[in-house]
Structure 1
Amino acid sequence: MEPVLLLDLDGVLNPFAAPACPPGYQERVFFEGEEPERYCVAHGGWIRELAAAGELWWATGWGEHANERYLPLLDVEPLPVVRFPPVPFEPELKVPAVDAVVGDRPAAWIDDNHTVAGRRWAAERPAPTLLVSIDPAVGWTRADVDRVLAWVQHLQR
């Protein structure tokens, strides 16, 4: 059974908590009147690797804006989007929407804010589940990608 891979944007691809724009990143205003968001073109290859390893979904409050505004900068095709409540919403509300998408399939969830509800959900699932916690001051690293790819490979044995 193909695993579902869930990818957050803010705090993961956009290390918003870093005191300055990290090396390898650029900044751009995506939403009028808001602070610039950070992006790293190298992440495009990582996203394509994950998409080849499983069914990759956005799990971000950006919704379709992640496909429309962010992914074109990374030269990546649009991804399906987990439907969350309108922003702002409590992070715990990601869990029911993620659960509806994942069903009984194995799932890896990459996020900078795994809540108590999310950790409980992961622990109670009968299907293999991996939570990858990202430091929003650092953002996504190659080690995070490799961890998910190794987990997927282990599932296929």
Structure 2
Amino acid sequence: MTKRPVLLLDLDGVLNPFAAPICPDGYQERVFFEGEEPGRYCTAHGAWIEELAAAGELWWATGWGEHANERFLPLLGVDPLPVVRFPAVPFEPELKVPAVDLVAGDRPTAWIDDNHTPRGLRWAAARPAPTLLVSVDPAVGWQRCDVDHVLDWAARL
């Protein structure tokens, strides 16, 4: 019997296309943290998150930590997700890997992020369990094809 896959979802650069020169169509802007630039969100992504949660054990893999549940998900109408515990922000993206590895264990894992580092690529390549890295352009953000790619991968396990 195949173990239920772990699905990891980053926020900035994925759900929040911060590198887009203007707010993309379908997105809204909101200040999430006082003194910072507005973040972007798309309410349609709530349904995508729910689809992923039905296909595996969906976790936040973001420096936002619990703030992703408290400030972001309510805008999408989605219940809170478990959170991968990263070092305090700011931290080097390479430091996501040990925390992700701890959550993934020996289960199949798909990781959606805008910054898969060399350390993350090596980690994924060395894992005996099926591993999928989905890279998202932070100037574009999450696309339906990214969701479908993970869903297709999970269905083939």
Normalised by the size of structure 2, how large is the TM-score? 0.99
Alpha-carbon shift at residue 46 of structure 1 (Å) = 0.1
Gaps of 5+ in 2: none
SS where residue 156 of structure 2 aligns?
helix
Alpha-carbon shift at residue 116 of structure 1 (Å) = 0.1
**Residue type of the alignment partner of 2:52:** L
1:24-39 paired onto structure 2 within 5 Å: 24-39=26-41
- 1:76-133 deviations in Å (ceiling 9; x for gaps): 0000000000000000000000000010000000000000000000000000000000
Alpha-carbon shift at residue 34 of structure 1 (Å) = 0.2
SS where residue 41 of structure 1 aligns?
coil
Distance in 1 of aligned mates of 2:75 and 2:10: 16
What is the identity percentage for the equivalent residue pairs of Structure 1 and Structure 2?
A: 83
Of 56, 59, 64, which aligns to 1:57? 59
Alpha-carbon shift at residue 69 of structure 1 (Å) = 0.2
Aligned Cα root-mean-square deviation (Å): 0.2
SS where residue 119 of structure 1 aligns?
helix
- 1:54-80 deviations in Å (ceiling 9; x for gaps): 000000000000000000000000000
Alignment size in residue pairs: 155
Quick check: 1:141 aligned with 2:148?
A: no
Matched residue, 2:128? 126
Distance in 2 of aligned mates of 1:138 and 1:93: 24
Of 83, 86, 104, which aligns to 1:84? 86
Distance in 1 of aligned mates of 2:155 and 2:85: 28
Normalised by the size of structure 1, how large is the TM-score? 0.99
Alpha-carbon shift at residue 141 of structure 1 (Å) = 0.2
Alpha-carbon shift at residue 154 of structure 1 (Å) = 0.6
